[in-house]
Amino acid sequence: MPIPPAARLANPFRRGRSSRNELHTVPGTVAADPTAPKPILTGIGYGPNSDTHGKLTEIVFDSPDEIPAFLDAHPVAWVNVDGLGDAPVLNRLGEIFGLHPLELEDVTHTHQRAKLEEYPDHLFVVADMAKPCPPDPRTDPDHADGPIFKTEQISLFLGRGWVLTFQEEPGDCFGPVRERLKSKRGRIRDCGADYLFYALIDAVLDGYFPVVESLGDRLETLDNEISDRSGRGVVGRLHRLRGELLVVRKLLWPHREMTNSLLRDRELISRSTQVFLRDAHDHAQQLLELSETYRELCSDLRDFHYAQLNTRSGEVQKVLTIVGSIFIPLSFVAGLWGMNFDTKYEYNMPELEWAYGYPFALGLMGAIAFGLLFFFWRMGWLRREE
């Protein structure tokens, strides 16, 4: 019986595929999603630039059985698997690389949090790769409100002289790593598989920087709209932005813990590579702090927006109060002269028979109104709050 969608521990912003977890199955069972892409096996083999095996080799495997010879022919080999839709192929890869069945289960159950697991002859890392989400041309052509990114689980294995990666579907953030391998730039071709392992993890973390920067740009846009009082639906947009930042924080927190675990002394990771892993850990920490800062700014902007609304309401109430304060004495004067008592009695209103009684009443009303306006101005009550 498949787990219902509400019970999956999936990221609410995830747009990638997720395998079907089966209840009451034996632990370590590889249950491939039949709707997932079929695995495409590719390999990159190389050695140091000064070595006779330094030539880079790229290959697409027709069968997993071709991989052992490829591993033997190269000092460092990277095997990448795009697609998790074939359980026999995945099981065969597990046999070739000596993977534990529980690891293959975690590979196919694509709702894992980022983590590191250590085995006697290899390391296993699970990470979430951020991929840009294209805007919807119908509802969000400017990409101002829709989701910025989607996530895809990637599984990385480090062994002696080899790196194995599993992806849910083709397309990743490893392009710069492949370009560095081809162009022989930097130290990647002169180092072992552990440095390649670091470079792939660092590429995953670097993929979050454009995401966080895009969220920061949206936050700045909302800040300008709130300051200019031109924003519509600002509270809803701030809420969605804060939700995406919360997802980024939930994704980056275990990545920071995972990179921190890699800094411990491990046989498969050299001391020189651990120095670079500290840099990857710093990137994870920096991304986490940025997401936290932006999330707090969302709350601050929401409070600022509400403060502006309260200020506008206060200004309206102030204007209405001033208008009412001016018309109260005017209403008194008009009501006094409008009582129309008979003038033949001594104590009644003789002003009703004056030739200039009506202009006098209007002048008195105008003097009262301007006197009150001058008083309000001197008290500073007519100034607009900034």
CA 374/CA 380 separation, integer angstroms: 10
Looking at residue 79, its pLDDT comes to 97
- 193's tokens: 């598989």
pLDDT digits (tens, 9 = 90+) for 290-306: 999 999 998 888 888 88
Looking at residue 17, its pLDDT comes to 44
- 22's tokens: 């089966």
Burial group, residue 138, by CB count within 10 angstroms (0-12, 13-18, 19+): exposed
Q: Find the length of the chain.
A: 386
Calculate the average pLDDT of the chain.
Answer: 83
**Cα(first)–Cα(last) distance of the chain, in Å?**
61
The mean pLDDT value for 193-201 works out to 96
Q: How confident is the model at residue 13 (pLDDT cuts 50, 70, 90)?
A: very low
pLDDT digits (tens, 9 = 90+) for 46-60: 987 655 445 899 999
Q: How confident is the model at residue 2 (pLDDT cuts 50, 70, 90)?
A: very low
pTM listed for this prediction: 0.77
Residues 173, 199 contacting (CB under 8 angstroms) = no
Looking at residue 171, its pLDDT comes to 87
The mean pLDDT value for 98-118 works out to 92
Q: How confident is the model at residue 153 (pLDDT cuts 50, 70, 90)?
A: very high
172 or 339, higher pLDDT: 172
H/E element holding 89? helix 87-97
CA 326 vs. chain centroid, Å, equals: 53
Looking at residue 31, its pLDDT comes to 77
CA 153/CA 133 separation, integer angstroms: 15
* Lowest-confidence region among 33-42, 96-105, 126-135, 226-235: 226-235
CA 150/CA 173 separation, integer angstroms: 13
Residues 221, 144 contacting (CB under 8 angstroms) = yes
Looking at residue 142, its pLDDT comes to 60
pLDDT of 218 higher than 60: yes
Looking at residue 49, its pLDDT comes to 64
pLDDT of 220 higher than 80: yes
The neighbouring-strand residues paired with 79 are: 43, 164
Looking at residue 339, its pLDDT comes to 72
Residues 12, 246 contacting (CB under 8 angstroms) = no
Query: Is 51 in a helix, a strand, or coil?
Result: coil
CA 350/CA 360 separation, integer angstroms: 13
Looking at residue 16, its pLDDT comes to 42
The strand ranges marked E within the chain are: 40-46, 57-61, 76-82, 115-119, 122-132, 149-159, 162-167
Query: Is 187 in a helix, a strand, or coil?
Result: coil
* Lowest-confidence region among 162-166, 274-278, 320-324, 379-383: 379-383
pLDDT digits (tens, 9 = 90+) for 316-371: 787 788 888 888 888 888 887 777 666 666 666 766 677 777 788 788 888 888 88
Domain annotation for the chain: domains and CATH numbers: 1-189 (3.30.460.20), 310-378 (1.20.58.340)
Q: Which of 124, 43, 36 is nearest to 81 (CA)?
A: 43
